[in-house]
């Protein structure tokens, strides 16, 4: 069966520090991968999605970047965190073109101080 992992589970970082969040998927090949952010009490904002290795689409201009160095690995990064980067970051995957049902990871709670 397929599983999706995210780490770390929680992170507290100072403003201006770098960020690296990792997401890996097991049990499937060539998934679509997604990064979402959920601000406190808010809905989901799609940040990036990827349909293959090295292919990244960005939905909103921001302080963050994403990379997909391997088929089932998706990394969210920042060179310098802002206070507004605080939130709950969710990684998700889907099978290409089959109803696009998405499966979510457990999330990373990021607090920028």
Partner 1 sequence: GDSVTQMEGPVTLSEEAFLTINCTYTATGYPSLFWYVQYPGEGLQLLLKATKADDKGSNKGFEATYRKETTSFHLEKGSVQVSDSAVYFCALSQNTGNQFYFGTGTSLTVIP
Counting contacts by CB under 8 A, is residue 100 touching partner 1?
yes
Nearer to partner 1, 78 or 89 (CB): 89
Counting contacts by CB under 8 A, is residue 107 touching partner 1?
yes
Buried b (16+ CB within 10 A) or exposed e, 22-50: ebbbeebeebbbbbbbeeeeeeeeebbbb
Counting contacts by CB under 8 A, is residue 48 touching partner 1?
no
> Binding residues for partner 1, per CB under 8 A?
6, 32, 34, 42-44, 46, 49, 51, 90, 92, 94, 96-97, 99-107, 109
């Amino acid at each position: 069966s397929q599983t999706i992992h995210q780490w770390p589970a929680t992170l507290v970082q100072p403003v201006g520090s770098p960020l690296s969040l990792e997401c890996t998927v097991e049990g499937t090949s060539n998934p679509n991968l997604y990064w979402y952010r959920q601000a406190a009490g808010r809905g989901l904002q799609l940040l990036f999605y990827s349909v293959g290795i090295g292919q990244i689409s960005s939905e909103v201009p921001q302080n963050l970047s994403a990379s997909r160095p391997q088929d089932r690995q998706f990394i969210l990064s920042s060179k310098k965190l802002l206070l507004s980067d605080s939130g709950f970051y969710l990684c998700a995957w889907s099978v290409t073109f089959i109803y696009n049902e998405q499966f979510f990871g457990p999330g990373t709670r990021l607090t920028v101080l």
